[in-house]
Homo-oligomer: A and B are copies of this chain.
Amino acid sequence: MRILFATSNHHKVMEANEVGKNFGVEFSQLMERYPEIRDEDVSRVAEAGAKFVFEKIQKPVVVEDTGLFIEALNGFPGSYSAFVFKKIGNQGILQLLKEKENRNARFISAVGYCDSDGVRIFQGLVEGSIAREAKGGAGFGYDPIFIPEGQSETFAQDPEMKNGISHRRRAFEKFCRWVIGRK
Contact = CB atoms under 8 A, between A and B. Distances in A.
A92 B87 contact: no
Between A40, A78, A80, the greatest number of chain B beta carbons within 10 A of the residue's beta carbon is seen for A80
A96 interface: yes
Contacts of A38: 35-38, 83
Contacts of A77: 87
Contacts of A74: 86-88
Interface string A31-62: 00001111010000000000000000000000
Interface string A67-86: 00000011111101001101
A9 interface: no
Interface in A73-127: 73-78, 80, 83-84, 86-88, 92, 95-96, 98
13 contacts: A40-B83, A73-B87, A74-B88, A75-B87, A76-B92, A80-B80, A80-B84, A84-B84, A88-B96, A92-B96, A95-B95, A95-B98, A96-B96
